[in-house]
Amino acid sequence: MAKSVSTVRTDHASRYLQQLCKHWSHRFEVEFNETAGKVPFSPEASLGLTADAASLILTLNVEKPEDLERMQNVVADHLTRFAFREELEVAWSPDASAA
């Protein structure tokens, strides 16, 4: 299991969380509210989202470490398309608690 986290600074975290979850709800059994969400891409991969007043925290879990970079790019690409009016920085780092 590989896990990475990105804390994206934005005043619109809840809006982006809901947009991402609604977008993926057409293909996956997504659960979300204004401050938290989960996108189960497959039995082997999921995205957790948490929004507060200043940031959107993305937590990506994948079964195969070789899939991590591809999934990070998918999530970051979707977020930056929804947030085209902002220049968001989506920088992923390994989750220390996953070790």
Residue 99 has pLDDT above 50, yes or no: no
Residue 98 has pLDDT above 90, yes or no: no
Domain region containing 42: 2-90
With cut-offs at 50, 70 and 90, classify the pLDDT of residue 95.
confident
Write out the H or E segment, with its range, that includes residue 68: helix 68-82
**CA proximity to 35, closest of 15, 5, 65:** 15
**The pair of three-digit structure tokens given for residue 79, joined into one six-digit string:** 């977020």
The total number of structural domains that make up the chain: 1
Q: Is 18 helix (H, G, I), strand (E, B) or coil?
A: helix
Evaluate whether residue 14 is within a structural domain: yes
Evaluate whether residue 96 is within a structural domain: no
Evaluate whether residue 95 is within a structural domain: no
**The pair of three-digit structure tokens given for residue 93, joined into one six-digit string:** 């780092």
pLDDT 10s digits, 7-44: 999 999 999 999 999 999 999 999 999 999 999 999 99
- Nearest-angstrom CA–CA distance, 22 and 53: 20
- State pTM to two decimals: 0.92
Domain holding 50: CATH number?
3.30.310.50
Helix axes of 68-82 and 13-24: crossing angle, nearest 10 degrees: 120
